[in-house]
Structures are given as C-alpha cells and as structure tokens.
Amino acid sequence: MNKNFSHIDDQLLLRFLLGEANEDEMHQVQEWLQLSEENQSVLDSYENLWAETGKLTPKPVAVDTPMVWKKMSNRIDLYEEDKKSVKTISLKSRLTLFSSSIAAAIIIMFGVYQLLLKQPQQILIASTEEVLHDTLPDGTNIALNKNSNITYPEQFTKNERRVKLEGEAFFKVEHDKEKPFIIETGDAYIQVLGTSFNVKAYENNELEVIVTEGLVKIYTVDSETMDTSAILLKAGQKGRIRGNEQKPIYVSDNIPDAIFWMNYTLIFNDTDLKKVFNLIENYYNVEIKVNNDKIYDCRLSTTFTNNSINDIIEVIAATFEFEFTKENNTYTIKGDCCAAKKN
C-alpha cells in the first residue's frame, strides 16, 4: 500500500462497505478518507469491485411452486403415454402398474405438500388512502406510501430477510450482519445490512432508491447467464433502473426531499430555484412560471414543514424580493434578477 494509507486495514474497509463496522471503526475510516484524495480513490475502487462482481450477493433463490406441479403433471402424462404404447398387458401387471402410478403420484403430491408446509406464512400489508407504519419481525421499521403494498414472511429464514415491494416505502433496517435484508421489486433487488433508505417501485415504472443512512446495493440478475449488474449507494445518493433497462445507474447526490411523502418536510441547502420549483410543482400539483430565467439561478437554503403552497411561495418571494400572482393552480414569479437577500 502507499504510505498515505498504509495504516488502514483491507478487512476494515470491507467491513465498512458491508455496514459491519462499529462506531470506532467507522470514525477511523472517515478520518482516513480525509487524509488524501488518494484514500477516497482506494475506497471507491473497493466499492466498484463489489458492485461489478456481485460476488458478495447471493443469487436470489425462490421456490417455483407452479413449476413443481408442472413437473408432477409431466410425469403423469408420461405414464399415460406409456399406457397407450402397450398393446396387451395382464390383469396382474395392470394392477401392479396402476398401484405404482398411484403411489408415485401420492409421493410427488406429498413432497409438494411438505415443500409448501415449509414455506413460512406470507403477510401482506397494503396502503390505499394513507401512509401506514409497521415493524417487521426483525425489528425493521417501514413506512408504506399510499397505493403501495409489501409482502414478507411471518418469520425470516436463517440466512436472509427477504420482502417484496410494490409501490413506495421507507425502510429503517435493523442491523444484522449475518442476515442481509433483501427487497424484491420485479426484476431488481436491493440488499442492505442495516441502514435507512427510500424505495419507489410502482408497476411499469422505473425503480428509484434514495439512501439517507448507510450503504445500499441495487442489483439485477440476468435470468439466462446469472450475471449481476450492480451499483453501491452511499448516504445522500440516488440510483435507479428504468423500465426496460437492466442495469442500475447513479442519478444524483443532492436529495434532501426524498421522503417528503412521509413527513411533509422539504429541506433545501443551497438549492437553485429551478430545482426548488420543480419539486414544489411535483408535490403540490401546481405550475410555477417566471418572467425572467435569471430567477432560476437564485439559491435557497431553508426548511418547510407542513406548509401550504401559498406559504411556501410567499416565503420564497419575500426572501428574494420577488412578486408573484396566482391564477387557478398557476403561480407566476416576477423579478429582475436574484436579490442579495437570502435565507
């Protein structure tokens, strides 16, 4: 290793990436990262290696119950075909063959029954008109957005904690280095050990993951080659997978508004007004126009919590000495340029 980072242990970096480092170790890594840009490059190379190889991610394994029944049906069909191909057979042989086929069918059905019995009971939580909060068997806290649902077993397995999500949810995952937490969202997977993040995975739309604490891995697995495509997200980063694309990509780093739907709080930190207006339009279902594009260059630092759209527009106008008018759901902001007065 280079002398700039000779004191850092490879295993410590790995534990840090996996979320297994304790507070002292995390502090040690953070101090080491601040020593040089080269150290940050080393950590980035570890992240890329993990993301590209996917070797630390177990391939998703699920019991395909319809396939089991199909195989059983195929066996019975084969027996029926065998019967048609035989021209003569003694009564004793017929009875023996019939008894054998019944016994085989019973054994197969019993095997399927036992297989199904071993599967833990699945619990479904669905939200329609309001945000729901719940705690999973491992202590993980979730907030389920409207028109969303999550399915999870009554008891997690020994090796992993696997859930299925349709819609949007915020997860605060209980740390367990022995049992990674895996979220299935159609053809994509999200794996963590202990962290906080938001997942948006509505049907026929892109998958979006926003991390507020810790590390999260998004990955897909090719059904034919079993190759893994993955990215690793840190706190404050957003990644996504578009509808027909199979590879996750990084989107942005500045995402303080990620969970507005959960706590109705917007946090802006030196954010240009173009982004501010775009977010407000999206969350409040309004349109915001400006008479001067230079207005978009103004930058805002403030927090809005449970504010009405009128209150927010008034605060922005007062902050930058703008004027505004409202007609139906359209606000028009008027100003010559960005005033010196800022929050």
Number of neighbouring beta carbons within 10 Å of residue 230: 23
Interval 16-48: pLDDT, tens? 776 667 777 777 887 888 788 787 777 777 766
CA distance 186 to 231: 17
- The average pLDDT across 185-199 equals 86
Residue 210 — pLDDT band, cuts 50, 70, 90?
confident
Task: Please compute the mean of the pLDDT values over residues 66-90 and round it to a whole number.
Answer: 45
Of 26-30, 117-121, 161-165, 299-303, give the lowest mean pLDDT range: 117-121
Note the CATH architecture for domain 264-334.
Answer: 3-Layer(bab) Sandwich (3.55)
For 155, the token pair is: 């008891």
CA distance 258 to 4: 36
pLDDT, tens only, 52-72: 544 444 444 444 444 544 444
Fold (CATH) for 122-252: Jelly Rolls (2.60.120)
Which of 269, 264, 300, 299 is closest to 283 using CA atoms?
A: 264
pLDDT tens across 230-270, in order?
888 888 888 888 766 678 888 776 565 666 777 778 888 88
233: CB partners within 8 A, 6+ apart: 197, 209, 211, 215, 216, 217, 218, 239, 250
Name the amino acid, one letter, at 255: I
Question: Which helix (DSSP H) or strand (DSSP E) does residue 297 occupy?
Answer: none
Residue with the larger pLDDT of the pair 164 and 240: 164
- Please list, in sequence order, all residues whose beta carbon lies within 8 angstroms of the beta carbon of residue 146, skipping any fewer than 6 positions away: 127, 128, 129, 130, 131, 261
For the stretch 317-330, pLDDT in tens is 999 999 999 999 99
Q: What is the pTM of this model?
A: 0.56
